[in-house]
Chain A
Amino acid sequence: MITARREAWTGRLLLILMMAVTLLPFVSLFVTALHPSGTYPAGLAWPGDPQWGNFLRAFEAANMGALLWSSVLIVLGVVPLSILLGTMAGFALGHLRLVGGRVVFLLFVLGLTLPFEGIITPLYYQIRDMGLLNTRWAIILPLIGLFMPFSVFWMRAHFVNMPGELSESARMDGANVWQLFRRIHVPLAMPAISSLGILLFLWTWNQFLLAIVLVDDPAKRTMSGALGAFQGQWGTDIPLLCAGSLLILTPTLVIFLIFQRHFVKALLQGSLKG
């Protein structure tokens, strides 16, 4: 009994310590962002005269409105289509037992661990030849392709566990494959689909490499890519840089806090399956 209580207290202490370490960078960004711009604040020190205006200046300097809009457009281009294609392919490969389906599935699985850096060079020339450099399509189209292995893998894992009788009875009623998919299997797959959507949203929003290589104009990049440019431009003005970083990570933070239960579930399952 005494050991159990002591264990519980060590546990609590450890948790609090871990949370402190996790939050430290955020606190530091916040405190530093309030110092007069152009100064080099020493460590964690509350400024005598907090400069709340820094956030406003960073908002304007980073052109946040345009950035937000750009990221939203990219997410809207990537996520719905990836979900649709991934769900369709996952359904066919997991439920319909296609002849030769295993080979195709293995081909997708091979792409699961692919580091984006591995293909960034030919991708650049390919996108250039398609005339898409410096447009949002340069990020949207490759990302859909790059997300296919995971999307197909994820959705197939769901459909493989659906009982075959479900489809049999629908077929008896004369449903064709598309109706079977649309009316019966998609509604049942909604939990898996929404987790996939959360993960894809996060990965798109935070995509950095494709954004800095394929798009020069920060206003057409993802938030993350734009932050890279912001650092290049304002890297010497530490308080402004910190204010800008905080602003740029706010949208994901807000969405995370709203949907945190789904997020945590999706991320845990996502890494378990991936």
Chain B
Amino acid sequence: MTAHPAGGRSAHRRPARSRPRRARGLAGWLFVLPALAFYAVFVLRPVTLTFQYSLYDWNGIGASTWVGLANYGKVFTEPDLFDSLVNAFQLIVFFSAVPVVLGLAIAATIRRIAASRLALVARTVLFLPQVIPLVAAGIAWSWLLASTGVVNQLLTLVGLGGVTRAWLGDFATALPAVGMIGAWVLLGLCTLLLLAGMSKIDPALYEAARLDGAGPWREFVSITVPSLRQEIAVCVTVTVIAALASFDIIYIATQGGPGNTTMVPGLQIFYLAFSEREVGTASALAMVLMLLVIACALPIQWFAKDGNK
């Protein structure tokens, strides 16, 4: 472990305080230790075990055989497994793109009335999807999207009776339908985050733009979006992780069906490990999922940091 010279900045005062500092260092570690212990036992150890399992063929009960990277080969070649990764990336469109783009548009529109009583009520209402269990959202939406559900009722009402169907049971629409549930859950959060960010933008910027003859669209592109760099990055990170690691909604709404059209890595890991007893394959997929999430989250963070410094 490399020792960081944390006290280096106050070097001139150091000799007189070196003993208490070391004592404090020891006491300090006692403060960190309990948290680290829980983290090590219930997170770090399982992560290393996931990696270890991923190198074996194991049914969870009997003996295990070393298979090297074969399980990873399976993840990328077996259509059932690979499709779950593809589906997760398609879900990003609905979980991230829809809430962020719509959220931006909505926040920009309601910016002027952000302090009104209506907006205060809206703040509470729009947060509801964040507060309730995703399972409940899944149940409510399965019913809304059913063949006799409200969505079809509304479509018929506006003369689109021809497109009605059981949205979650149709091979072509199941994935977008599940995606819309995610968009519903995340839209409010994104809108409010972006709105909070907009309230910090200096109004003088907008006045200057107006004087230069900029229209609302120009304002939006040249002032609003660049100023919200950090908030947008946060929305994208949160929603991308929600898409890649989705489980609850899909478990309740479709269980991965029809066929495999809404299967996602999280659910696939669950089935592989606990129904099909292919612990090795499940673990390889789990490793891929964890790495994918980090690979997606890190660049977004860097992107946000760059803008600040």
Contact = CB atoms under 8 A, between A and B. Distances in A.
A54 B111 CA distance: 43
Interface in B117-154: 118-119, 121-137, 139-141, 143-144, 148-150, 152-153
B217 interface: no
Interface residues of A, number: 103
A252 B25 CA distance: 41
B113 A11 contact: yes
A183 interface: no
A42 interface: yes
A28 B153 CA distance: 12
Interface in A120-154: 120-126, 141-142, 144-146, 148-149, 151-152
Contacts of B261: none
The dominant DSSP class at the B interface is: helix
B143 A124 contact: no
Contacts of B29: 92, 98
Contact of B31 (A7, A89, A205, A238): A89
Interface string A92-123: 11001111111110011011011111111111
Contact of A113 (B36, B110, B241, B265): B241
A104 B118 CA distance: 46
A143 to B, nearest CB: 8
Contacts of A149: 39, 43
A29 interface: yes
Interface string A242-274: 100100110011001100100110011001101
Given A15-B118, A108-B39, A40 B148 contact: yes
A145 B193 contact: no
B127 to A, nearest CB: 6
B279 to A, nearest CB: 6
A213 B216 CA distance: 51
A245 B144 contact: no
A21 interface: yes
Contacts of A40: 148
A100 B36 CA distance: 13
Given A115-B245, A145-B39, A227-B135, A28 B32 contact: no
Given A19-B126, A29-B143, A118-B290, A126 B131 contact: no
Interface stretch (A60-68, A174-182, A189-197): A174-182
A202 to B, nearest CB: 7
B188 A115 contact: no
Contacts of B263: none
A100 to B, nearest CB: 5
A12 B113 contact: yes
B140 to A, nearest CB: 4
Nearest to A44: B150
A236 B244 CA distance: 30
Interface in B274-308: 274, 279, 282-283, 286-287, 289-290, 293-294, 297
Given A10-B109, A108-B39, A92 B31 contact: yes
A26 interface: yes
Given A23-B125, A113-B297, A118-B47, A145 B42 contact: yes
B32 A117 contact: no
Nearest to B239: A271
A29 to B, nearest CB: 5
Interface of A: 4, 7-8, 10-12, 14-16, 18-19, 21-26, 28-29, 32, 40-44, 85-86, 88-89, 91-93, 96-104, 107-108, 110-111, 113-126, 141-142, 144-146, 148-149, 151-152, 171, 176-178, 181, 202, 205-206, 208-209, 212-213, 223-224, 227-228, 231, 238, 241-242, 245, 248-249, 252-253, 256-257, 260, 263-264, 267-268, 271-272, 274
Given A177-B24, A209-B266, A241-B139, 6 more contacts: A43-B148, A113-B297, A115-B290, A242-B139, A245-B139, A264-B123
28 contacts: A22-B188, A24-B144, A28-B149, A29-B139, A88-B31, A89-B31, A89-B32, A99-B25, A100-B2, A103-B2, A103-B4, A111-B44, A113-B237, A117-B269, A121-B53, A121-B269, A126-B46, A145-B42, A146-B42, A208-B135, A208-B247, A231-B139, A242-B143, A249-B132, A264-B124, A267-B130, A271-B189, A274-B238
Interface of B: 1-4, 6-7, 20, 24-25, 27-29, 31-32, 34-36, 38-47, 49-50, 53, 60, 106, 109-113, 116, 118-119, 121-137, 139-141, 143-144, 148-150, 152-153, 184, 187-189, 191-193, 196, 216, 230-231, 234-235, 237-238, 241, 244-245, 247-248, 251-252, 265-266, 269-270, 273-274, 279, 282-283, 286-287, 289-290, 293-294, 297
